[in-house]
Structure 1
Amino acid sequence: MSEQKQPGLIRDSFPVGPLQCNCTIIGDPISKKCIVIDPGGDADLILSRAQSQGLTIVALIHTHAHLDHFLASGELKEKTGAPIYLHKEDQFLWDALETQCRMFGVPYKPVPPPDFWLKDDEQLPCCNGVAMHTPGHSPGSMSFWFGDDKLLIAGDTLFRGAIGRTDLWGGDFATIEKSIKTRLYTLDEEAVVVTGHGPDTTIGAEIRGNMVVRG
């Protein structure tokens, strides 16, 4: 008798907020639990897209703490009760949300402090995802790897043909280069990469074609 293959994850990625950050909903098709990665605005849209697929949000997870990646976090936590996750080294950015918003001319909405601090190689609350500490764009930048589905959520660490800027608070080129080469480029080359802004790419395409960090 052949083994029945488990259905793949539900994945819905779409731009949100004034800076068009890519928000991603990752859902378990069996339990119907989901996580929201980088809720950067448009809380009602995020909630409706999760609900339209019968999913319940159980965690709000952040690749890093620049304002465009968590503008809807407070409102979503209020509406769903889902806890907020972030790497500890980006707490200084989280605490400076009002200053960040002022600098970029974005309306400030108070956000509560994170409930949990993410650690490298930590299992995510559902969907068999693993947190990877990939600093460089910010000190606490994280990527999230879903190995069974060959899916990477890279935040602003890696883009199609480019990398995240390193001239913002706590950014460092040598650090992001190391993160990309030693952590991301060692993943399956067929893996789809959901970037923080713009279109998806693959690990293999970036290893061979990224002109900033070559594999």
Structure 2
Amino acid sequence: MQPNPSTLVRETFPVGPLGCNCTIVGDPQTKKAIVIDPGGDHQLILDRLDALGLKVVSIIHTHAHLDHFLASGEMKKATGATLHLHKDDQFLWDNLEMQCRLFGVAYTPVPAPDQWLQDDEELACGCGVALHTPGHTPGSMSFWFPQDRLLIAGDTLFRRGIGRTDLWGGDHQQIERSIRQRLYTLDEEAVVVTGHGPDTVLGEEIRENPFIRG
């Protein structure tokens, strides 16, 4: 596979008590960035933005399980960036305290989302598009950056795995449909950033994922 020269700044690192992968995606020209799934450690995320010379303009979420937005409130307070989520996950966002209690995680209030993400919506900086990929949760989203062949899949698709569907609002038939119809139809050479654990390559998952093969 030929290396793909990236036009974006991208850095992914685990945050929070459950090791959620937080991703910064930035435009090297405008220095504007989006932060995806700030699941904790807000100061670490702010420090990485500073080191990269980027200013976050929007904070977007693949879904509303607690480990993907524990630092969203602190990030918004520190940066003024807007919070984005698919409306079908509002019930999870509204029940953050309950989720934290069940998982034994300290509860920090988070304000309501500023904007609801839409399917096929262009993301801030004009660098990517939001894809509605329900199944792990009703409002699960993936984010596709075609010029960089980069897919942020959240907890929908993992390296040789798929997201759980036994939590609130999960649906196995939906996640299978989302993966087959929305993700496996993208560029097979795309790097897939998962919600937890290592990156993978989309073509490898199409051929080798034991749960859903293309």
Q: Same fold (TM over 0.5)?
A: yes
- Distance of 1:22 and 1:7 partners within structure 2: 20
Contact kept? 2:63, 2:154, Cα under 8 Å: yes
**1:60-99 mapped onto 2 (5 Å cutoff):** 60-99=59-98
Contact kept? 2:160, 2:210, Cα under 8 Å: yes
Aligned to 1:206: 205
Q: How much does 1:8 deviate? A: 1.2
Aligned to 2:175: 176
Helix, strand or coil for the counterpart of 1:47? Answer: helix
Contact kept? 1:26, 1:127, Cα under 8 Å: no
Aligned to 2:38: 39
Q: How much does 1:45 deviate? A: 0.1
CA RMSD of aligned residues (A): 0.9
Contact kept? 1:136, 1:172, Cα under 8 Å: yes
- Distance of 1:12 and 1:50 partners within structure 2: 10
Give TM-score, length-normalised by structure 2: 0.97
Q: How much does 1:7 deviate? A: 6.1
Aligned to 2:101: 102
- Segments of 5+ residues of structure 2 without an aligned counterpart are none
Number of aligned residues: 210
- Segments of 5+ residues of structure 1 without an aligned counterpart are 1-5
Q: How much does 1:127 deviate? A: 4.6
Aligned to 1:133: 132
Report runs of 4+ in structure 1 exceeding 6 Å deviation.
none
- Distance of 2:72 and 2:96 partners within structure 1: 12
Give TM-score, length-normalised by structure 1: 0.97
**Percent of pairs identical after alignment?**
71
Helix, strand or coil for the counterpart of 2:90? Answer: helix
